[in-house]
Amino acid sequence: MAIYNLGSINADLFYQVPHLPQPGETLAALSMSKGLGGKGANMSVAASRGAALVSHIGAVGTDGVWARQRLLEYGVDTRHITVLDQVPTGQALINVDRDGENAIVLLPGANDRISENLIGQALSESARGDTLLIQNETNNQAYAAKMGHELAMYVAYAAAPFSAEAVQEVLPFLDFLILNEVEAQQLEDEVGIAPADLSVTDIIITLGAKGCRWINTQKGTDQRFDAFTVDVVDTTGAGDTFTGYVLACLDRGMPMEQAIGLAMKAGALMVMREGTADVIPDLKDVRAAEF
């Protein structure tokens, strides 16, 4: 099986700051670093490090060829990442405070220029039962979700950055939905339907330090999973790591309960590290972790 990920690719610019800046405040950064990021790239790397075969569908500018090469080095199939002229690669300006909390400003760049033709070419290679993963950092999400559904793929959506309108556009085609508890409440307020009553088979609601919930609407089950207690360095990319690992485990035939358990270990290791895609833990480290 394989995972096809229609996902963003960003240059992540990290600024370590004494505290997150307030309106009108100018802060001196303690340090700065640059790395590979974007929710899409993070999830592709996480799924690849979780031992899945991953093909990334996306776009970069000529200034982002290094990001495509980095994904290739991490085991991701990059044949469906196009390089666009006169369009910048996506960027994320990430402020991280002493407690590991972050505030992020995004420039979509090439992530908003992914063509229907590119998506169609990539998904034409898929097999029935392969996974299609989408997040809300690219264009043509609904187009891809509908195509994936018609091809009998397992269509998964990570509803971040959250937009109720974006979720509603893909909702009819989804088999898997992951969002945090604030977003789950916002979606319920918008559509008037509780998560357990949605027409999506598997729904995961992340609860931060409290763990997560898994709702299976076909079985009518709602299970809670506690988080591991660790020393937090940086929360950036932890949710992406969790999502990528869950889907990698499911793609390899692992039951959902085990997939969540392994993914929570990966997320716990991730918050103990500073960075995004470049520091996502591999499966060997995750299996060896003892919390």
What values do phi and psi take at 91, rounded to 5?
Answer: -135, 150
H helix and E strand count, the chain: 9, 13
- What tokens appear for 171 in the block? 């909702």
Q: Which amino acid is at 16?
A: Q
Sheet holding 31-37, edge to edge: 31-37, 10-16, 90-96, 102-107
- What tokens appear for 105 in the block? 């400003």
Residue 211, Cβ density class (10 Å: 0-12 exposed, 13-18 middle, ≥19 buried):
middle
C-alpha triplet 106, 160, 281: angle, nearest 5°? 85
Q: What is the CA radius of gyration of the chain?
A: 18
231 is catalytic: no
Question: From the candidates 77, 130, 240, 251, which is the catalytic residue?
Answer: 240
> Distance between CA 138 and CA 60 in Å, rounded?
12
**Do 100 and 75 meet the contact criterion of CB atoms below 8 Å apart?**
no
Indicate which residues carry an active-site annotation: 240
